[in-house]
Structures are given as structure tokens and as C-alpha cells.
Structure 1
């Protein structure tokens, strides 16, 4: 009889030790969907001579509050050779987020006055596109669409 209780006790102990694993615990629901992601927007226009003007903008969400924006400009001839290429412009910003919406506040000097602009970056439910809008937008401006790179 005692042997039966000993085996039952050992079985319960073994079951208790193997039942819960770190993989079984759910991820916290407040995990930042932006952190560690990269997004890209490429604008390409054909020039009158048959060449191309290419503007590339990349958003890199470094962590839970830091964002880097990289901008490139390149002018190419019809044969693909580079006529003009500006150095990459790097801007560092901070952001806050709530769900799939990130908010970026920027400050610029316009007409010798500091002006504050608010940008909103909204991620789609599939987490493959970001739509960017800003208080800098004028009536008739289209929102910018970024596609997921990483």
C-alpha cells in the first residue's frame, strides 16, 4: 500500500515538473509591434531624358521609443549611370505607441519660429504596411505608405 502512494506521489511530482514550460506561457499582450522592424518607401519618376529620379525612405524602429529615418536621393541616366546621388540623411526621433498606432513629435524652425508637428504611423492588422500622416500635410496630400522590409 505504501509503495502505491510513493509511486503516485512521484508521478504527480513528475507531471508537475514537466507540465509547464517557458514556451507554454503566453507573450504579454502589450508587446510593441514596431520595435525592431524596418519599413521602406521608394518613389521613382522618369525624367524627360528617360532617366530616373529615385527617392528612398526607410523607417527603422530601434526599440520601444527610438526611431531612425534614412533618406536617399539618386538621379540616374537612361543607361542606368548615376548623374547625382545625395548622401544619406539620417534623422533620429522618439515615438510612443498604443496598439498599432505610433506617434512621432518633431520640431522644426520655420520663419525663425519653432514649429511642432505630430506624425501618426498606423500599422495594418497584417503588420505588413504602415500609413503615415502628419500635421504638416496640406489639403489634398495623400498619406505615405511604407511596406515592411524586416
Structure 2
């Protein structure tokens, strides 16, 4: 954790201990948030073995935190990875395809909280057609 993320949150007149703050993840640079975006936070619970949402994209960036279990996470151009409870993920949104967000566990549910910044008038999740997936096949990381 760098010093610019440090906080001193003690109450001046309190005898109790201050809160503990741990930086779970940071995103370098300034992600592009669509003008007039609506921030939306959702809880996604995946049954055992659930593949999650089909390949899709978001109109703005999304920031998530796995609260239970493990999810398989894959964005266009990056290899798939397993994100475990207590770990975070993010995606830039826009033209980047989100291939996977399924439950990595076959015997227990997994859950994550994600905050998305959606462009006005657009759905939070935009499915990608089979034709587009085929046309962009070369952009997917080797499996």
C-alpha cells in the first residue's frame, strides 16, 4: 500500500480503536466513465458450476469484489484467471468483451459484488453475438 492511500481515521475524543483499512485493489490511470453515467452496485450469486453470464460488455467500467467462493474471470486480450473470496477485479468497459464470470466451484456457490458505471439509456450488460465472437476470435488470449 502506498502512502497516498494511507488514512488516519481516529476520532479525537474516542477511547475505542480506529477502523482498519486495507487496500484490496487499485486501478492505475483514470478509467473512462461515460458522461452522465449511473453507478449501479449489484450482488451476483452463482450456484455450484454456474457458467455465469454469457460473453458480454458493459458501457462503462466495473469494479468487483468476491465475497464468497471463487469465480473464473476472463476479459478480451487477457488470460482467464480465478478470483477468490477477498480478491477484487475490474474491467474497463466499452468495447472490451467480458468472456467469463462463472463459478469456479462445482460443490458450493460463489458470490461477488460489482459496481458498474452505465452510460445513460443503456443496459448494464450487453450480450455479444456468436458472429462477433467469431470475428474477434484473434483478440482472445490463448487458452
Give TM class, smaller chain.
Answer: under 0.3
Q: Which has the higher strand share?
A: 1
* Highest RCO, 1 vs 2 (Cα 8 Å, sep ≥ 6): 2
* TM-score of the two chains, using structure 2 as the length reference: 0.25
* TM-score of the two chains, using structure 1 as the length reference: 0.24
Q: Which has the higher helix share?
A: 1
